[in-house]
Structure 1
Amino acid sequence: MNATLKETKELIMDAAIVLFNTKGYDGTGVRDIAKKAKVNPANISYYFKGKQGLLEACLTQFFEGYLSCLEEKVFLLEMAPPDECLKQGLKSILSFQRENHLLTRFVWREVSIDSQISREIIASYLVKEKYLFHLILEQGIKEGIFANLPESLVIIQLKSLLTMPFLQSQYLREVWHTFPQEKYFVEKYMIMIERWIDSTLCSLQETRHFDRKII
């Protein structure tokens, strides 16, 4: 039975993600991807307009899924305390990244290279991510839940907590005896992140609005 259009595109993207991780973007050819996906090389041109279009599709798929995790929690700010929104947003992002760990590792590596392609595609997504974090942090400071720390530094720290396990998975394995793709990684890691939020971001004044619905 012939694969549907959606299935063919998914096969190509899955193959590309594996090869981009193992051979790098520059070291991977269209024929390599087609061979691994078991499709005609012409399909890659037809569906993605070539390798760069395939890269753009991978980046778009990742960041749209990534940002939706955070955006959902921002929408709950009127019903739940900002610290809970932040914790649940980070947990949702980590779960998404764990489920897509190969794509996640490739994307964060690509961002760290700071190539022209990544700058053009990723810039708008990173601006939106910064804005979503800003909304949560601003509301937390306003309610007296978060300490009034430099926002840019807090966002950098949050970003590091989200990306480090996937950029340095071997180091994580050495010091913590786990890989980010493992089943219980998110639950274990979130315990540490929640402690960090409570001890670093939350102010000494235990201001809570218990009449608001918790997530």
Structure 2
Amino acid sequence: MKKNSKDAIVNAAISLFNSNGFSGTSIRDIAELAKVNTATIAYYFDNKLGLLEYCFTSFFEQYISKIEEAYTLIDQGAKGCLKRVVANLLHYQCEHNHLASVVYREMSIDSQVVREIMSTYSLKEKYYFQKIFEKGFEWNEFRPHSIPYLIIQLKGLLMMPYMNTHYLREVLYIFPNEPFFEQKYLKEINFWIEKTLSAEIKAKKEALI
């Protein structure tokens, strides 16, 4: 077997899943693009579902590690921690924009694989987001909000560009794979953090009354 055949299979699968969808892609399609035979795919991943599960796991293992890396500095402040988490996740998704698009699209379809991912990685993500928000409330950095609704908003901001890449490109002429997008969009999410969460804004408004 080729030394890099496994990587070639994964890259081909991501490309085809992204353009044709999981159900619209065959093992033969992946094999042809990766320049391997179907037996090689079976050797590494068993079948197409195993390949999708590998993509999910690979994506979320690194995704959670980006959150954990930022969370180690939570004692320096909840707002700063949240901004580091957002910067880490946005950069990771920009670097792996095709994989992010595949994962988010397929995660919207209920399946056994998706339920397994949600019972592990999604719960870990919720744990860290919840802890950051709770610390922010406790330390008076954030104004009180419903944590589930804050997570909905934050997840929406982080996921939307990769769930609707055709809309961004064809309607808004925005390209999530470009460095300029990452810089600009990070500023927008940080603006949401300041305006929605920051207790300093509330204190300033009250001082003016």
Task: Give me the TM-score of the superposition, normalised by structure 1.
Answer: 0.89
The 1:40–1:174 alpha-carbon spacing in structure 2 relative to 1, beyond 3 Å, is: closer
Contact 1:166 1:180 in 2 (8 A): yes
The 1:54–1:140 alpha-carbon spacing in structure 2 relative to 1, beyond 3 Å, is: same
Match of 2:55 in 1: 58
The alignment yields a C-alpha RMSD, in angstroms, of 1.6
Match of 1:181 in 2: 177
- How high is the sequence identity, in percent, across the aligned residues? 46
Q: Which has the higher helix share?
A: 2
- d(CA) in 1 for partners of 2:184 and 2:42? 42
- d(CA) in 2 for partners of 1:173 and 1:56? 28
Tell me the CA shift for residue 88 of structure 1.
1.2
Match of 1:213 in 2: none
Match of 1:132 in 2: 128
Contact 1:98 1:181 in 2 (8 A): yes
Q: Which amino acid aligns with 1:151?
A: I
Q: Which moved more, 1:178-187 or 1:102-111?
A: 178-187
- d(CA) in 2 for partners of 1:122 and 1:149? 24
Match of 1:191 in 2: 187
3-state SS, counterpart of residue 108 of structure 2: helix
In structure 2, the gaps of 5 or more residues are 205-209
Task: Give me the TM-score of the superposition, normalised by structure 2.
Answer: 0.91
In structure 1, the gaps of 5 or more residues are 207-215
3-state SS, counterpart of residue 127 of structure 1: helix
Choose which of 166, 176, 179 in structure 2 pairs with 1:170. Answer: 166
Match of 1:48 in 2: 45
- d(CA) in 2 for partners of 1:157 and 1:175? 23
Q: Which amino acid aligns with 1:122?
A: M
- d(CA) in 2 for partners of 1:100 and 1:156? 22
The 1:154–1:175 alpha-carbon spacing in structure 2 relative to 1, beyond 3 Å, is: farther
- d(CA) in 2 for partners of 1:178 and 1:127? 31
Q: 1:155 and 2:119 equivalent?
A: no
Choose which of 25, 29, 37 in structure 2 pairs with 1:28. Answer: 25
- d(CA) in 1 for partners of 2:83 and 2:164? 22
- d(CA) in 2 for partners of 1:40 and 1:171? 35
- d(CA) in 1 for partners of 2:38 and 2:162? 30
Q: Which amino acid aligns with 2:56?
A: L
Aligned residues: 202
